[in-house]
Structure 1
Amino acid sequence: MFKIKSVLRSDEKDMVSEFESKIMVRGSEELNDHLAPNALASVFRAIGEKKQLDLLYETLSSHEPESRIIEPVGVYHESGKWYIFGYCHLRSDYRQFRTDRIHKIQLTALSFSKSHGQLESYLQPNSGEKTKIRILVDKDIVRYIKSDRKNYGFVSEKHTADGCEMTFLCRDPRDMFGRWFMMFADYATILEPDWLNDTILGYMNQARERIKKRPQG
């Protein structure tokens, strides 16, 4: 807890002691202080009162921040980033939200729709089924994705004559990994699972249709 308190404001440090089980630090990376304004205060108040939060959140695929209603479970730090972990009503599943992508956070009057377990139980390495993913990335692009890949279940890499082969174990291959892969899809190939290629093609077709329907200036 000392490492966490060292990057928090004085008014947030008191809350950490009260909600210690709701905060985790995973890995040995240095903590940063990039937390959304009043993020901890809002999260812990929501947990204490069992009220939903309204996040104005910027996803990888969105051009503008979108509203996400969540039921927060806790906060954790991993790979140099802070995350709020909670139940997302849009996805009807548990998701993590990077705090540096939160533009606004607001407590609502809506009560939790379900009960939630401890943060640690959701973040255990063996919790939830994982999918093995292998991709081949052009060597010139590897350095641009090296830091982010840890957030998507990166396991290992192998350099070949064709590029850098990376292996991942991911709990959310279709949405979370698939949309991240779209950021550099023109420089990479999915080796397995084959069905993930169909997912990527689906995203590309959706993007193509949206471009066709764009307002003409």
Structure 2
Amino acid sequence: MNRTDRLLAIVLELQAHGRRRAEDLAKTFEISKRTIYRDIQALCEAGVPVVAAAGQGYSLIEGYFLPPLRFSPDEAMMLLLGADLMAASFDAEYRQAAHAAARKIAGALPEQQGAEVKSLRATIRFVPSGAANQHETSLLPQLRRAIVAKQQIRMIYQARHGAAALEREVNPYGLIHTGKSWYIIGFCMLRQAIRAFRIERIAELRILSSSFERPSNFSLDEDQRNDRSLRIRVLFDHESAAWVREEPSFYAVAHEPCDAGLLVTLLARNEHDVSQWLLSWGAHVKVLEPDSLRQLLAAEVERMVENYQNTKMLLT
């Protein structure tokens, strides 16, 4: 990135985030703090109203905004495709906002550039994985409002198949979309720890009047990495190896071809995170470790066999 582009990017960063320290900006743009100091001075000399607060960092004077930006064809294309992806992944409220944003971007492009981008955009489509879950999408707007307002939520939550539904009070920190399902990440008062809750398992939801403060060091990315401590190794036969690569588990971190087939390593929170995915592969997979997962799957298979045998007896 040349200096002119970086200066513009620094202004956009301050405009988007309100206040940033020199070390944060240096890390973002992969340059030294000394270079950031020079860049800030250059912006001030150019008339950009950057304000420095001791120990707090830099910010723009309230009310300062950049004039409308001009996009390159690639930039416009990525913005429009991003809007298409969001429209395919989010609920109706955000879908409308994504369509509106796309119309504004497309309408601001010069005629020739707009025609080129429209032609390229018509060749790409994002298809949602599976049918939309109406219950899930109906809860998303409420959860987003609770996250932004930093208000506690109370919910009736079905932990997993067979477990009793429990009332939970949670400080909602953020949302994660895995490609198939939405999760709310937050501090659970019952467990006194940060937990992930699958939104489609929320039977009832209520936003409370009580507020909370999100920890300043909380990061959705870091939380997801730190939350998965159970190491699992499984072996798929040659017949299924190609399909496993095509439809990997959300928890898979490594795929290693070997003489016996495909060795897959997964990191999960517990055995139940991957049990249904592994069962779906039937006899094509063997659990190498841990033993607790092997026992869990064996017990489930025994129950399945018993169910089939009982069904046969009922029919006769």
The answer to whether 1:50 aligns with 2:149 is: no
Q: Deviations over 1:94-144 (max 9, x none)?
A: 2353x7xx39875336788x987545265353x135233221112222344
Deviations along 1:39-82, one digit per CA (max 9) or x if unpaired, are 4302213434312345789x7x68xxx9786644321234x445
Output one character per residue of 1:6-64: Cα deviation in whole Å (capped at 9) or x when no partner: 52468438999xxxxxxxxxxxxx9766674334302213434312345789x7x68xx
Match of 1:84 among 183, 198, 218: 183
Q: Residues 186 and 73 from structure 1, CA distance in 2 versus in 1: closer, same or farther, beyond 3 angstroms?
A: farther
- Aligned ranges 1:56-67 → 2 under 5 Å: none
Distance 2:137 2:294 in 1: 38
Question: Does the 8 Å CA contact 1:75/1:82 hold for their aligned counterparts?
Answer: no
Q: Which runs of 5+ in 2 are unaligned?
A: 1-15, 17-78, 99-124
Give the drift of 1:194: 3.1
1:12 aligns with 2:94: yes
Q: Which has the higher contact order (CA 8 A, sep 6+)?
A: 1
Q: Residues of 1 paired with 2:236 and 2:309: CA distance?
A: 29
| Counterpart AA for 2:261 | G
Distance 2:143 2:126 in 1: 19
Larger radius of gyration: 2
C-alpha distance in 2, partners of 1:74/1:104? Answer: 16
Matched, 1:156 2:255: yes
User: Cα–Cα, structure 1 residues 129 and 108, in superposed 2: closer, same or farther, change >3 Å?
Assistant: closer
TM-score by length of 1: 0.59
Cα contact 1:69–1:88 (8 A) shared by 2: no
**Cα 1:54–1:13 shift into 2, 3 Å:** farther
Residue 195 of structure 1: CA displacement?
Answer: 3.4
Shift in alpha-carbon separation, 1:199–1:55, aligned structure 2, 3 A? closer
- Distance in 1 (CA, whole Å) between partners of 2:247 and 2:223 is 18
Letter in 2 for 1:37: T
Q: Secondary structure at the match of 1:51?
A: strand
Question: AA paired with 1:51?
Answer: I
In structure 2, what is the Cα distance between the partners aligned to 1:203 and 1:105? 26
What is the rounded CA distance, in whole Å, between the counterparts of 2:202 and 2:184 in structure 1? 16
Structure 1 position 85, deviation (Å): 2.8
**Equivalent runs, 1:105-184 vs 2, <5 Å:** 107-108=205-206, 118=218, 120=220, 123-125=223-225, 127-128=226-227, 130-160=229-259, 162-168=260-266, 170-184=267-281
Shift of the 210–88 alpha-carbon distance from structure 1 to 2, 3 Å rule, reads farther
Please state whether the residue corresponding to 2:240 is helix, strand or coil.
Answer: helix
Q: Does 1:196 align with 2:196?
A: no
Q: 1:76–1:86: structure 2 CA closer, same or farther, 3 Å change rule?
A: closer
Q: Secondary structure at the match of 1:149?
A: coil
CA 1:158 to 1:129, structure 2 compared with 1: closer, same or farther past 3 Å? Answer: same
Contact 1:141 1:187 in 2 (8 A): yes
Number of aligned residues? 190
- Structure-2 separation of matches of 1:55 and 1:200: 24
**TM-score, with structure 2 as normaliser:** 0.44
Structure 1 vs Structure 2: percent identity of aligned residues?
15
Q: Which has the higher strand share?
A: 1
Q: 1:107 is paired with a residue of what secondary structure?
A: strand
SS in 1 for 2:137: coil
Distance 1:32 1:179 in 2: 24
Cα distance change of structure 1 residues 150 and 209 upon mapping to structure 2, 3 Å threshold: closer
**1:188, CA displacement in angstroms?**
1.0
Q: Alignment RMSD, CA only? A: 4.6
Query: Gaps spanning 5+ residues in structure 1: where?
Result: 17-29
